[in-house]
């Protein structure tokens, strides 16, 4: 197992390097002028003198051969220089850093309800095949499956905010903002709910959670549909395998048969889908962020794309790719943990 992980970790930098090639290559398509403009605040850029422009060109290697330019760019990226975001009205790195904790917060709280419950429902349905509970779960899945997320999200907002007033949109209430911007509030993890707990502010913690519930319900409902169908069919397939009959023939309790012998095998294909979902959560969920008026990566990058904010798009792409590569590494390690044929094969 250790050898497998080390092998995978050694490949990781190579893949990330490949990612930087692609993104750097794409940036070159902009041409030198737009490329240079993407690095600087446009208000400043317009007032630059010729010498200052030359100095900038030199700094970003626009007068140098491609290899040197790549070196300078990579050096900049590693030091957090991703250019200026028009949409974020700040440096791309700052704009990303402001949003990543919010996206990560939603992702962290959504993992269990989305993936955990989705898998649980799928297994329940499979084990109770063709019984009432299976039909109920499947009808529920079809409804979730056929709902566009923006419609479902709006329903949640209408019912739980407009009608009941329980789940407000946004990341937190206005009164929270003053407190968290004051010097009394210490940032430790930058995940607001955790920091609130660490600062002993349970009221802020609850406020943040209240704002997370709506988005989590929306994502869960829609993603469960997909996840539980995959889990259900995978579980049904495994339950028909001969080794399940062998396990029963040993006299094992049906609970042991399902929990020990069936689940682990059934979860192998589910890991891929569930893992991809978690990666998506960390990359930001555009529609949910827009509907619930949340600050987050998804809506930021979407906006950057519509406004041709090249620096922000490239910065976002770099972040997404890194998350994807690291996420896939984790999925592969999980795979190997579940299935000995992968780690020993």
Instruction: Report the interface residues with other proteins, using CB under 8 A.
Output: 241-243, 245-253, 260-261, 264-265, 338-341, 344-345
Does an H or E element contain 84, and which?
strand 84-85
Q: Which is nearer to other proteins, 265 or 285 (CB)?
A: 265
Q: Which is nearer to other proteins, 200 or 251 (CB)?
A: 251
Q: Which is nearer to other proteins, 51 or 242 (CB)?
A: 242
Nearest-approach distance from CB 120 to other proteins, in angstroms: 20
**Residue 279 structure tokens:** 């990666």
Q: Round to whole Å and give the CA distance between 103 and 95.
A: 13
Q: Which is nearer to other proteins, 10 or 249 (CB)?
A: 249
Judged by DSSP in three states, 90 sits in strand
Give the DSSP letter of residue 162: I
**Residue 235 structure tokens:** 């579980």
CA dihedral angle for residue 145, residue 147, residue 148, residue 151, rounded to 10 degrees = -150
Residue 175 class from Cβ within 10 Å (0-12 exposed, 13-18 middle, 19+ buried)?
Answer: exposed
Q: Round to whole Å and give the CA distance between 30 and 309.
A: 12
Burial of 15-52, coded b for 16+ CB within 10 Å and e otherwise, reads: beeebbeebbeebeeeeeeebbbbbbeeeebeeeeeee
Residue 253's Cα: distance from chain center in Å? 39
Q: Which is nearer to other proteins, 190 or 248 (CB)?
A: 248
Nearest-approach distance from CB 343 to other proteins, in angstroms: 10
Largest distance between two CA atoms of the chain: 85
Nearest-approach distance from CB 240 to other proteins, in angstroms: 8
The residues pairing with 48 across neighbouring beta strands, listed in sequence order, are: none
Cβ atoms of 95 and 312 closer than 8 Å:
yes
Nearest-approach distance from CB 193 to other proteins, in angstroms: 37
Nearest-approach distance from CB 235 to other proteins, in angstroms: 14
Nearest-approach distance from CB 253 to other proteins, in angstroms: 7
Instruction: List % helix, strand, coil for the chain (3-state, nearest 5).
Output: 75, 0, 20
Q: Which is nearer to other proteins, 89 or 245 (CB)?
A: 245
Q: Which of 196, 205, 216, 224 is nearest to 289 (CA)?
A: 216
Q: Which is nearer to other proteins, 138 or 294 (CB)?
A: 138
Nearest-approach distance from CB 248 to other proteins, in angstroms: 5
Nearest-approach distance from CB 257 to other proteins, in angstroms: 10
Does an H or E element contain 10, and which?
helix 2-28
**Residue 272 structure tokens:** 């891929």
Q: Which is nearer to other proteins, 46 or 242 (CB)?
A: 242
Q: Which is nearer to other proteins, 240 or 307 (CB)?
A: 240
Q: Which of 222, 237, 236 is nearest to 280 (CA)?
A: 222
Nearest-approach distance from CB 345 to other proteins, in angstroms: 7
């Amino acid at each position: 197992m250790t050898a497998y992980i080390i092998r995978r970790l050694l490949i990781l930098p190579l893949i990330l390097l490949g990612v930087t090639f692609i993104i750097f290559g794409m940036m070159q398509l902009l041409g030198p002028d737009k490329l240079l403009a993407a690095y600087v605040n446009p208000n400043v850029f317009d007032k630059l003198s010729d010498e200052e422009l030359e100095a900038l060109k030199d700094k970003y290697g626009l007068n140098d051969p491609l290899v040197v330019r790549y070196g300078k760019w990579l050096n900049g990226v590693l030091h957090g220089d991703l250019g200026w975001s028009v949409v974020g009205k700040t440096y791309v790195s700052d704009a990303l850093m402001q949003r990543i904790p919010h996206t990560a917060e939603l992702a962290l709280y959504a993992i269990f309800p989305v993936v955990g419950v989705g898998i649980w429902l799928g297994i329940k349905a499979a084990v109770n095949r063709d019984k009432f509970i299976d039909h109920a779960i499947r009808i529920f899945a079809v409804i979730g499956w056929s709902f566009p997320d923006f419609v479902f999200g709006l329903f949640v907002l209408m019912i739980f905010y407009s009608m009941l007033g329980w789940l407000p949109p946004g990341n937190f209430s206005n009164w929270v903002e003053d407190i968290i911007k004051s010097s009394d509030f210490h940032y430790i993890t930058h995940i607001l709910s955790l920091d609130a707990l660490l600062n002993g502010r349970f009221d802020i913690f609850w406020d943040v959670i209240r704002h997370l519930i709506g988005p989590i319900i929306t994502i869960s409902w829609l993603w469960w549909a997909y996840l539980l169908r995959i889990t259900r069919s995978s579980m049904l397939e495994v339950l028909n395998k001969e080794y399940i009959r062998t396990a029963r023939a040993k006299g094992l309790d049906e609970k042991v048969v399902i929990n020990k012998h069936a689940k682990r095998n059934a979860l192998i294909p589910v890991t891929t889908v569930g893992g991809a979902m978690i990666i998506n959560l960390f990359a930001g969920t555009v529609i949910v962020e827009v509907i619930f008026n949340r600050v987050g990566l998804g809506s930021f990058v979407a906006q950057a794309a519509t406004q041709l904010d090249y620096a922000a798009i490239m910065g976002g792409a770099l972040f997404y790719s890194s998350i994807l590569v690291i996420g896939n590494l984790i999925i592969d390690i999980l795979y190997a943990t579940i299935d000995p044929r992968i780690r020993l094969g």
